[in-house]
Amino acid sequence: MHDRLQRLKTRYTEIDTEIQNPDLLKDAKRYKETMREHAYLSSLMEEYGRYCDIEKQIDGAQELVREADDAEMREMAKDELKGLESLLTESESKIKTLLIPPDPLEEKNIIMEIRGGTGGEEAALFAADLFRMYARFAESRGWKYEIMSSNETALGGYKEITLSISGKYVYGSLRYESGVHRVQRVPETEASGRIQTSAATVAVLPEAEETEINIRQEDLRVDVMRAGGPGGQCVNTTDSAVRLTHIPTGIVVIQQDEKSQIKNKAKAMRVLRTRLFELEENKKNAERAANRKSQVGSGDRSERIRTYNFPQNRLTDHRINLTLYKLDAVMQGDLTELVDALAMAAREDQLKAQDD
């Protein structure tokens, strides 16, 4: 650990010099990355400095235990030594945690896609419940959300709904929501009162900035069409809907919620950039996952992650074996305990991987 920390200390000194260079301000991306690394290393070096100070104090206490002529003085030194060794263990634990560098994606805004899965109309109604749950959680955190596209059913459910959520540490908080969410309850569509199981899928994608993904015009096919839907002013009367096809990957994005073709295209480009960004991140993650599978999960939307049992007011997250008997509160947006537990489990998994 000492060798690794000494290398990071050298890197910290280099960055400390680098941020004094006025030329750094000319490259916004490099400046942001450098300042992020500097902030991370500052916290680590502060704790490492504390660790080294405690080690010096331990050396002094050990010397006093060995050389003290006075028995009372020797006992005092032993007591001090015991306290210092406890502090050293605590500091070492903090350093091990800090040695896991923060994921730069955690600060990003997200695009969330929720789709009704198996279960027909009931699955669509559950997808709508999940949307409201995340919307209320976003409001409780002071985040902003915007519905980017939706496909509503006759009973008020969603076959699919896409929303963007922006604010502080959004992806870091919601990244582990990707996967299959299973619900067990008596659906509104069931007259006999039998409990039915259905599901919805959630995908949480870190939103890409324009500078991160370059989409060449020659790789893009843009089609315009009349928007479908239940009618109304401008719907089905103007070519406002936009379909973007990214030719190299085959990714297709359709946007028709806005009355303006320009606005629909802008929203579609945001989604396309984000999906291309996800594609690149998945390639990187596949390499890491080949070495170690995360306990919390890879974010694969085909993985069943959670069961919502309404009759028992019970929620179970299968990845970390967490069961909460407050499903009513969770559906109202009280996700803090769940989000924190998932983040803690992921952190512990990273610490184990670091020790292996």
* pLDDT, tens digit, 9 for 90 and up, residues 273-307: 999 998 888 887 765 555 444 445 544 556 789 99
Residue 288 lies in a domain: no
Whether residues 32 and 141 fall in one domain:
no
Total domain count, the chain = 3
Other Cβ atoms less than 10 A from the Cβ of 332: the count is 14
Whether residues 119 and 198 fall in one domain:
yes
Structural domain for 41, as ranges: 2-98
Whether residues 121 and 265 fall in one domain:
no
CA 232 from chain centre, in angstroms, equals 38
* Confidence band of 191 (pLDDT split at 50, 70, 90): low
Residue 125 lies in a domain: yes
Whether residues 129 and 191 fall in one domain:
yes
Whether residues 338 and 190 fall in one domain:
yes
Q: What is the pLDDT of residues 300-342, one digit of tens each?
A: 556 789 999 999 999 999 999 999 999 999 999 999 999 999 9
CATH number of residue 114's parent domain: 3.30.70.1660
Q: What is the pTM of this model?
A: 0.74
Residue 24 lies in a domain: yes
Residue 203 lies in a domain: yes
Residue 45 lies in a domain: yes
pLDDT at 231 over 60: no
Per the prediction, the chain carries an average pLDDT of 86
Whether residues 199 and 275 fall in one domain:
no
